[in-house]
Copies of this chain bind each other. A is one copy, B any other.
Amino acid sequence: METINIAILGCGTVGGGVAQIITEINNVLSMRAKTKIVLTKIVELFPVQASERFNIPLGLFCGGGKDLSGKEANEYIQEIISSEEIDILVETIGGKSDFVYNLCIDILNSGKHLVTANKALLAERGKTIFETAEAKNVKIGFEAAVCGAIPVIKTIQEGFTGDKVLSVSGIMNGTSNYILTQMQNEKQEFADALKLAQECGYAEADPQLDINGGDAGHKLILLIKLAYGVDVSKDDLSISGIENITKEDIDFASEIDAKIKLICYAKKVNGDIYATVRPMLVKKGNFLAAVEGATNAVRINNKYSGVHFLVGKGAGSTETAMSIVSDIVFIARYGDKIQNVPAKQERNFADARQFVFPYLITFQTGNIPGTTGFITTAIGKQEINIETVSHNRHAGEKAMFSIATMPCTLGQIEKAIEEIRSEKPGMLLSEPKIMPILY
């Protein structure tokens, strides 16, 4: 039996999980890979801690188990990159710093395969990384970078090769979904739910990327690359997060039998790709509405095989590590026959404001007769059909409006609001919230 040698760079939550799985079920993995899988070296600044947490022999750590300085760690890393013996490098340091970027480029240039969970790096600085892998005919395994344990990359790249992806959408950030679930089920305010998410270890100390849609955006960028062969940047996506969602919004959603979810959505229409990350009102008939807590879910609509859902854990130590180990087995099995990403396609990226959805528009007005007529007339002028109007919530002198439209564009709605503002300054007492409705 041949041997494939693995080194792990960074033995934290994910890297440690990888070492644990490779150690615990080594025989099974080798049998599946038809190749003996050997964990050869680990580079980690604090080996004792990692060794205890993940039950890994100290002897595997470069330096024999003593704490390393950054400089020492880097010397070991360079040694591993130049070694002829190592076949696959697992990068679980994380972040999109120049250090990690250059490290990945060096790994690929050395002719070694790279497996990583680093979505920020691949989404924001992936272009040259993928090109380097292509030039060197080595593989980048990044299953773990998109929705943790859910094998969505292999599903698109190997499971759906007989089909064309029409749209891909889903709940791809567990923290924000946990917060929204708490607000929905426990009637919590956003700030309290966020605090709880942090206490439960779901959100980072700085949870910005979780709640502002940035983390979900990284995953959507990678899925667009896979499904459509197109490079997009974060600026191309129209991203908004859940920071401004209130209990009142959750109530409006309930009124139309929907739940608010932070949704990633990309769709190809006549060669143009529309993509966005934003809170949407998911109707109860859509499976995504039933996805609660820190779970992730991806919905893929295909030309020939229709709608699919993949649901699973989007984060966690062994959960994410499992995807890395599966990539290792995949590379060991199929070697250089593996395709990293599809051939590059021409980039036709449409303005998200032209995205056609039914929308729910909510805002406050004064409690003044004639308001409904004026507002609905302004909306009608933009050729928007109205599904329902509800303004039965009066709070003192104020009235809460919620208007559900038939499918139209964000651009049309913005024009209608502009007209209301210019014709009747002062009629709108709050910034209108405009959320797509997902059936």
| Interface: A162 (CB within 8 A) | yes
| Nearest chain B CB to A299 CB, angstrom units | 9
| Cα(A259)–Cα(B302), bound, Å | 29
Contact A311 B308 (CB under 8 A): yes
Contact A323 B162 (CB under 8 A): yes
A334: chain B residues at CB < 8 Å are 333-334, 337
**Contact for A158 among B28, B154, B313, B321, CB less than 8 A:** B154
Residues of A in contact (CB 8 Å), total: 56
Most chain B CB within a 10 A radius of its CB, from A33, A143, A158, A160: A158
| Interface: A324 (CB within 8 A) | yes
| Interface: A429 (CB within 8 A) | no
Beyond A159-B154, A311-B287, whether A304 also contacts B319 by CB under 8 A is yes
**Contact for A150 among B31, B308, B319, CB less than 8 A:** B308
Contact B339 A337 (CB under 8 A): no
Contact A308 B304 (CB under 8 A): no
**Contact for A161 among B148, B316, B321, B329, CB less than 8 A:** B329
Contact B312 A312 (CB under 8 A): no
In the complex formed, the residue of B with least CB distance to A158 is B154
Contact A160 B322 (CB under 8 A): yes
| Interface: A269 (CB within 8 A) | no
| Cα(A290)–Cα(B259), bound, Å | 15
| Interface: A32 (CB within 8 A) | yes
Contact B159 A155 (CB under 8 A): yes
**Contact for A151 among B155, B304, B311, CB less than 8 A:** B155
A32: chain B residues at CB < 8 Å are 161, 339, 342
| Nearest chain B CB to A316 CB, angstrom units | 8
A287: chain B residues at CB < 8 Å are 290, 311
| Cα(A326)–Cα(B302), bound, Å | 13
Chain A, 310-346, contact with B by CB distance < 8 Å: what is the 0/1 string?
Answer: 1111001011011111111110011101010011000
Beyond the given A162-B329, A163-B326, please list 7 additional residue pairs across the A-B interface where CB-CB is below 8 A. A149-B308, A151-B155, A154-B158, A155-B155, A161-B325, A306-B313, A308-B310
- CB-CB nearest 8 A-B residue pairs: A162-B325, A151-B159, A149-B305, A162-B326, A161-B329, A304-B318, A305-B322, A309-B311
Using a CB–CB distance below 8 Å, which chain A residues touch chain B?
Answer: 17, 21, 25, 28-29, 31-34, 143, 148-151, 154-155, 158-164, 287, 290, 302, 304-313, 316, 318-319, 321-330, 333-335, 337, 339, 342-343
Could you list 28 A-B pairs, sorted by A, with CB under 8 Å? A21-B163, A28-B164, A29-B161, A32-B342, A148-B305, A151-B155, A151-B158, A151-B159, A154-B154, A154-B155, A155-B159, A158-B326, A160-B322, A161-B326, A161-B330, A162-B321, A162-B324, A162-B325, A162-B327, A290-B290, A304-B318, A305-B312, A305-B318, A306-B313, A307-B312, A309-B310, A333-B334, A334-B337
